[in-house]
Amino acid sequence: LPAVRISRRVDPLFLLQGGQILRVSTALSCLLGTPLRVRNIRAGRSQPGLRPQHLSGLEMVRALCDGKMEGGEIGSTEVTFTPGKIKGGTHLADTKTAGSVCLLMQVAMPCVLFAAAPSELHLKGGTNAEMAPQIDYTVMVFKPIVEKFNLTLDCIIKRRAVVKVMVQISPVKQLSPITLTDRGTVTKIHGRAFVAGALPVKIAKDMASAAVRCIRKEVRDLYVNIQAVREPDNEAFGTGTGIIIVAETSTGCLLAGSSLGKRGKSADKVGMEAAEMLLGNLRHGGAVDDYLQDQLIIFMALADGISRVKTGPITLHTETAIHFAEQLTKAKFTVTKSEDDGSSKDAYIIECQGIGLLNPNL
C-alpha cells in the first residue's frame, strides 16, 4: 500500500494540517482506486488521532465507494483505506459535533464527480465553524470558481449553526483545466453580516459599518454593500454572529474576507477583521484569495490539461495539498514568482499538468 506517513522527520508544514492530509489523500485514493495507509495522524496535537469530523468524512467516502477501512475510530492514529467503485445517489454524513460541513464537502465532492449518476450529499455539522470555510464562502466564492472546471454544484442550506446542508452534484466525464491569472479590476464589493439566536440585529449592523469604514480607507471609488441580517429562527440553530465580504472583478474573479464573532469580541473587531482579510487578498494581486488556493489543487491535478492560477503567498495548506496530489496522482506542479508588471512581490503562479482522469461510468 502507498503509505502517507505524517512524521516529525518531514518538513514541519506537514504537521500542521492533519485533517487536510486525510481529506486530500482519501479522496484521491477513492478516485484512483488505490489502497492507502495514513500513519501518525495528528501526532503532534494535544488530542492526537482522528476526531469526529475526520472520521465522519472518512466514513462518507468509504460508503460512497463501497470501500473498506481499518482503524476508523476516534483517536486512531493509523487508517488503512481500500476503495471500491464510486456510486451516485444519496450519501449522509454527520460530524455529531459543530465540525465543519464544508470540510466534509471537500473530501466527498471530488469523488462523486466521477460517479455513475448524480449525487446528493446530506451533511450535518457546523456551517460557520472556526478554522474552516464558512458556508457563505463556499456558496459565494468556492462554488462559482470551481464550476470553471466544467462541473455543476448546488448547495442548499437547510439550517445554520449545527445544521444540515444538501449538496447536489452531477457527474462529469472529465474536468477541464482552468486559467485564473488576470484578476482585472474590482467592480463590486458586497457581503452579509449576520446574527442568529437571541442576539439583536444591531450587532450585525455594527459589524457591517466597521467593515465598510475599514474598506473605504483603501477603496474609495466603489459602493460597499454589506447587508445586516438576523437569521430567521426556523433557519438557524443556536446563537452566533459572523460576516463575509466578497470583491468581484472585471474578469470574474472572486476574493473574500470573513470573520466570526465570539464572546468578548466586539462587533467592530469582527467587521474589521473581515475587511482587513479582504484588503490583504486584494493587495497581493492574486486572482484567488488565500483560502481558495488549496481548495483548487485537487481539481487542477485531476483536470485534462494545464491549469494556471495566480495567487498571493503560497499557504501551508496549499504546499501540503500540492505535495500529496503529486505523490498520489503523478500530476506535475510548478510554483513560480509572478513576473507580471502589475504584480506585487508576493504574487505567484501555480501551474499544473493534470492527469486528465476519465469517468469510466460515462
Residue 293, annotated as binding a ligand:
yes
Angle at 258 between CA 61 and CA 351, to 5 degrees: 60
pLDDT at res. 60:
94
Q: Give me the pLDDT at residue 283, please.
A: 95
Highest mean pLDDT among 27-36, 92-101, 131-140: 27-36
**By mean pLDDT, which of 40-49, 56-65, 133-142, 180-189 is the weakest?**
40-49
> Choosing from 54, 91, 284, 317, which is the catalytic residue?
317
Domain end (from 233, 253, 284): 284
Same domain, 219 and 113: no
Question: For 158-192, how does the pLDDT look when each residue is reduced to its tens digit (9 = 90+)?
Answer: 766 556 789 999 999 999 999 999 999 999 999 99
- What's the average model confidence in pLDDT over 6-34? 70
Q: Looking at residue 217, what is its pLDDT?
A: 96
Range of the domain at 173: 19-180+288-355
User: Which residue do the cell numbers 470540510 mark?
Assistant: 103
Q: Per the annotation, does 294 bind a ligand?
A: yes
Per residue in 240-265, pLDDT (tens digit) is 899 999 999 999 999 999 999 999 99
User: Does residue 260 sit in the same domain as residue 154?
Assistant: no
DSSP state of 314: P
- CA atoms of 359 and 343, how far apart (whole Å): 38
47 is in an annotated binding site: no
Residue 87 belongs to a domain with what CATH number? 3.65.10.20
291 annotated as belonging to a binding site for a ligand: yes
- Chosen domain end from 241, 258, 284: 284
CB neighbours of residue 86 within 10 Å: 24
**Crossing angle, helix 101-112 and helix 293-302, to 10 degrees?**
10
Which three cell numbers, joined as nine digits, stand for 144? 462559482
278 is in an annotated binding site: no
Q: Are 140 and 254 within 8 A, CB to CB? A: yes
What is the per-residue pLDDT for 158? Answer: 75
* Residue-wise pLDDT tens digits, 84-102: 999 999 999 988 766 788 8
Q: What is the mean pLDDT of residues 59-84?
A: 95
Q: Known binder of ligand: residue 223?
A: no
| CATH value at residue 200 | 3.30.360.20
Active-site residue flag, 317 = yes
More confident residue, 124 or 296: 296
Among candidate residues 284, 317, 333, the one where a domain is terminated: 284
The pLDDT > 90 percentage for the chain reads: 72
Q: Is residue 362 part of a domain?
A: no
